């Protein structure tokens, strides 16, 4: 029990390190599903593990042990200080519950607001709402139905093909309900902060998903890459419009610490990602491990408590 219960607590740390490499390698659609599912599973397993530790400590603590007719000595067998671990686990659980409650409320309100505004808007063709504004803005507003919001500034910056790339990308967000994936991943991360890199990875893969869909719709991956680049550079303050050949000697470009926009552009300029069956299988295996160890630990604790009660 004492080993098993820590496995679901350690795996999120592994997941945190693996999130970005996975996001970079997997096909965006698979990656989104897998990373979001991983976030849920790992959040559930780690929370369960903390609960088990707390319950174990509760059984081993003298006053509580007396209440439940448990024999303390038997309950403490195998771990010299279950009470301390239990207290730590309880503190973490309470913290996680509080932050998750806050996150659920905030996110729920943001979503409700989004749906409300989306329903009040009267769009033009294809659910697109054009906002007269010099700012460079374009986003999908989740709703029922969703809306695409674009500023006149953004439209003016692009030619016809760029505009279709932009709109195809935003349409993909709406039809794929991508906000569901990011919501779920964010909530998982509030249950277990180690999973925050997973949440960021999901946000990234949903962007990549929309990018690849836009590339399929327009038939031109380089067009989508150039459009992203144009908009991002214009949206940077001070506005950066230099898009030509810089004249500097080409150095090796490292994407290691790059933000999402250059990575998206680089991914579109490279060949489309291929299937990684091994990676998928390995990830699923690790998730199964987390689930199985949580389950086994729960069984162990149950058995231990039965024993303690019999001896108490």
Summarize as ranges the residues that interact with another protein (CB under 8 A). Answer: 106-107, 109-111, 113-114, 117, 120-124, 129-133, 137-142, 149, 151, 154, 166, 169-170, 173, 178-179, 182-183, 186, 203, 206-207, 222, 225-226, 228-229, 231-233, 235-237, 240, 242-246, 250-251, 253, 255, 258-259, 261-262, 265-266, 269
By C-beta, is 99 or 114 nearer to another protein? Answer: 114
CB nearer another protein, residue 248 or residue 278: 248
The string of DSSP codes covering 84-112 is HHHHHHHHHHHHHHHHHHHHHHHHHHHHH
CB 40, min distance to another protein, A: 18
Residue 311, Cα to own-chain centre: how many angstroms? 46
Contact 124, 140 (CB under 8 A): no
Least distance from C-beta 165 to another protein, angstroms? 10
Strands, DSSP E only, in 28-71? none
Whole-number minimum distance, CB 189 to another protein, in Å?
12
Closest approach, Cβ 27 to another protein, in A, equals 19
Specify whether the CB–CB gap between 268 and 23 falls below 8 A. Answer: no
CA distance 131 to 152: 6
DSSP 270: S
Is the CB of 80 or the CB of 124 nearer to another protein? Answer: 124
By beta-carbon proximity to another protein, the closer residue of 113 and 159 is 113
Closest distance to another protein from the beta carbon of 237 (Å):
6
Show the DSSP H helices in the chain as ranges: 7-25, 28-60, 62-67, 72-75, 82-120, 152-157, 160-175, 178-191, 196-218, 221-235, 260-269, 277-311
Length of the chain: 312
Closer by beta carbon to another protein, 3 or else 139: 139
């Amino acid at each position: 029990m004492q080993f098993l219960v820590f496995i679901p607590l350690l795996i999120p740390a592994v997941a945190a390190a693996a999130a970005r490499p996975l996001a970079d390698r997997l096909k965006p659609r698979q990656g989104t599903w897998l990373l979001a599912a991983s976030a849920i599973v790992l959040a559930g397993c780690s929370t369960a593990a903390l609960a088990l530790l707390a319950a174990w400590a509760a059984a081993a603590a003298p006053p509580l042990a007396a209440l439940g007719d448990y024999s303390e000595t038997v309950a403490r067998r195998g771990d010299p200080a279950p009470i301390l671990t239990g207290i730590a686990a309880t503190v973490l659980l309470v913290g996680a519950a509080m932050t998750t409650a806050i996150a659920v409320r905030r996110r729920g309100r943001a979503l409700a607001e989004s749906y409300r505004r989306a329903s009040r808007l009267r769009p033009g063709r294809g659910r697109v709402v054009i906002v007269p504004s010099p700012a460079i803005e374009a986003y999908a507003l989740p709703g029922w139905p969703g809306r695409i919001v674009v500023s006149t500034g953004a439209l003016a910056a692009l030619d016809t093909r760029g505009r279709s790339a932009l709109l195809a990308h935003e349409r993909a967000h709406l039809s794929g309900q991508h906000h569901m994936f990011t919501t779920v991943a964010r909530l998982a991360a509030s249950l277990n902060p180690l999973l925050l890199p997973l949440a960021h990875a999901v946000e990234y893969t949903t962007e990549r998903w929309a990018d690849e869909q836009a590339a399929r719709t327009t038939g031109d991956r380089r067009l989508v890459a150039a459009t992203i680049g144009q908009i991002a550079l214009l949206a940077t303050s001070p506005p950066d419009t230099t898009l030509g050949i810089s004249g500097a000697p080409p150095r090796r470009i490292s994407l290691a610490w790059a933000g999402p926009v250059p990575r998206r552009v680089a991914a579109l300029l490279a060949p489309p990602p291929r299937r990684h069956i091994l990676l998928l299988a390995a990830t699923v295996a690790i998730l199964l491990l987390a689930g199985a160890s949580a389950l086994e630990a729960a069984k162990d604790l149950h058995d231990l408590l039965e024993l303690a009660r019999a001896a108490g």
